[in-house]
Amino acid sequence: MPIELSTRTTVGVRDRTRESGTATEKGARLSAKQRMFLTERLELLLETGIPLHAALATLEHQAENEELRVLLGEIGESIAGGVTFSDSLARHPDAFPGAYVHLVAAGEQGGFLPRVLERLREMDEKREELRSTLLSAFAYPAFLSVFSVAVVAFVLVVVFPKFAEIFEMIRDQLPITTRFFLALSDVLRGHWMIWLPGISVAGVLGWRWSRSVSGSETLDRIAFSTPGLRDVSVQYHLVQFLYVMSLSLSNGVAILDALRACRSVTGSPRFRAFIDDLGTRVAEGQNLARGFQDAEFLPTLVPQMVSTGEQSGGLALVMGRIASFYEREWRRRLASLARLLEPVMLLVMGVVVGLIVSSLLLPIFKLSQAVH
């Protein structure tokens, strides 16, 4: 049976984390794959009976990545100085998210750290699988978009200039689309030294804007209000949130600390606000189900199931079941959306190519008629 982790213990983790800020906190970073690999190897060493400090020393000597070696060395030194493993991890928030730290703290106090490490590895694997599925679903539509832009740019820069002199004699009789593409071709060819750096700068600025608070809120608002994309976005963040909550509660993490830790697993400002609201309600003595009911963007099944879990005392199990159900539903909707985007992109590409071809062929027909 999982041992309940007291709020005092996990609050101590957070307090000591704030007090122990070092220069390495922001520099130490681990990718999800690196963290999964580290977690799995540490789990195996602990299961064979090797003490924690000796297991960390072994992993430090075996590490090929210099940053990982330094990180493990600092964690080992902290433990040798009397700091708990979870507190040592909490000093490196860029490498170990809040949910990871709280679950390790639960495993330390309950005496089941290897089992918690196994579940943490599974959690990271699940999140990476969801991310990979999302990227794979939109990879082909993205390729079609890039390919279409490349084809149009090639035609405008290489093909259209060859016809410019031919069309000069009937320039006043050219269709408006032909004149537009000729003008666009001249701009691209004559100012490419401005266009190329401009596109690069715009891309960098757009990426930085998307990472800013206002940018992420705007993108989040678009995702949650666009038909078709809304359900996919909600279910994606909901599945990650419920999986972490289920894992945390089933391993003895207090509800308030589990909610705080879940803020690190979602990149959605709206979901973070929802999690903060749940934490406020729980701190005031309200139940979780009421907070889920007031979140209008959630599917109606979710608050009903959460209410059932609270009443039956099996909230962790119910949240895990909800996450599994909506993961399957999310995959189905994502596949449908990807299948819908492919013909839409092909249609757009066909329309653009058709306009370009007609802009070339119609003047040629006029020239041939003038000759005859």
- Token readout for 197 is 């750096």
Q: Are residues 85 and 153 in the same domain?
A: no
Q: How many CB atoms lie within 10 A of CB 44?
A: 14
Which pLDDT belongs to residue 321? 92
* Tokens 């979602």, residue located: 266
* Tokens 């069309």, residue located: 167
| Residue 110 near residue 10, CB atoms below 8 Å | no
In a domain, 278, yes or no: yes
Q: Are residues 264 and 359 in the same domain?
A: yes
In a domain, 101, yes or no: no
Q: What angle do CA 210, 214, 217 make, to 5 degrees?
A: 80
Which pLDDT belongs to residue 277? 92
Residue 15's CATH number: 1.20.81.30
Please give the chain's pLDDT, 372 residues, in tens.
Answer: 333 333 434 444 444 443 333 333 444 678 888 888 889 999 999 988 889 889 999 998 888 888 888 899 999 999 988 889 989 998 888 888 888 888 888 888 778 888 888 888 888 888 888 888 888 888 888 888 888 888 888 888 888 887 777 777 666 677 888 888 888 888 888 777 777 788 888 888 888 887 888 888 888 888 888 887 888 889 988 998 898 888 888 888 888 888 887 887 777 888 889 999 999 998 988 888 889 998 888 988 999 999 999 888 899 999 999 999 999 999 898 888 888 888 888 888 888 888 888 888 877 776 666 555
Q: Are residues 129 and 62 in the same domain?
A: no
In a domain, 267, yes or no: yes
Which pLDDT belongs to residue 372? 53
In a domain, 111, yes or no: no
Which pLDDT belongs to residue 171? 67
Which pLDDT belongs to residue 371? 57
Distance CA 182, CA 277 (A): 56
In a domain, 252, yes or no: yes
Distance CA 162, CA 230 (A): 46
Q: Are residues 131 and 266 in the same domain?
A: yes
Among residues 62, 96, 130, the one where a domain terminates is 96
Q: Are residues 154 and 47 in the same domain?
A: no
Distance CA 131, CA 225 (A): 21
Distance CA 334, CA 228 (A): 9
Among residues 96, 129, 157, the one where a domain terminates is 96
Residue 253: DSSP 8-state: -
| Residue 245 near residue 258, CB atoms below 8 Å | yes
**Boundaries of domain holding 176:** 120-372
Q: Are residues 207 and 321 in the same domain?
A: yes
Q: Are residues 185 and 333 in the same domain?
A: yes
Q: Are residues 126 and 38 in the same domain?
A: no
Output the pTM of the full model: 0.73
Which pLDDT belongs to residue 370? 59
Which pLDDT belongs to residue 186? 83
The count of structural domains within the chain is 2
In a domain, 254, yes or no: yes
In a domain, 105, yes or no: no
User: Which one, of 233, 363, 354, 92, lies nearest residue 104 by Cα?
Assistant: 92
In a domain, 245, yes or no: yes
Q: Are residues 367 and 228 in the same domain?
A: yes
Which pLDDT belongs to residue 28? 62
Which pLDDT belongs to residue 191? 74
Q: Are residues 78 and 126 in the same domain?
A: no
| Residue 321 near residue 305, CB atoms below 8 Å | yes
Q: Are residues 301 and 343 in the same domain?
A: yes
Q: Where are the alpha helices (DSSP H) in the chain?
A: 7-19, 32-47, 52-62, 66-80, 85-90, 98-110, 113-154, 160-167, 176-190, 192-211, 213-225, 229-250, 255-262, 269-283, 288-294, 301-312, 315-371
| Residue 185 near residue 164, CB atoms below 8 Å | yes
Q: Are residues 366 and 308 in the same domain?
A: yes
| Residue 39 near residue 120, CB atoms below 8 Å | yes
Residue type, 207: W
User: Which one, of 353, 371, 361, 348, lies nearest residue 175 by Cα?
Assistant: 361
Among residues 35, 62, 96, the one where a domain terminates is 96
Residue 159: C-alpha distances to residues 121, 162, 288, 362 (Å): 54, 6, 63, 15
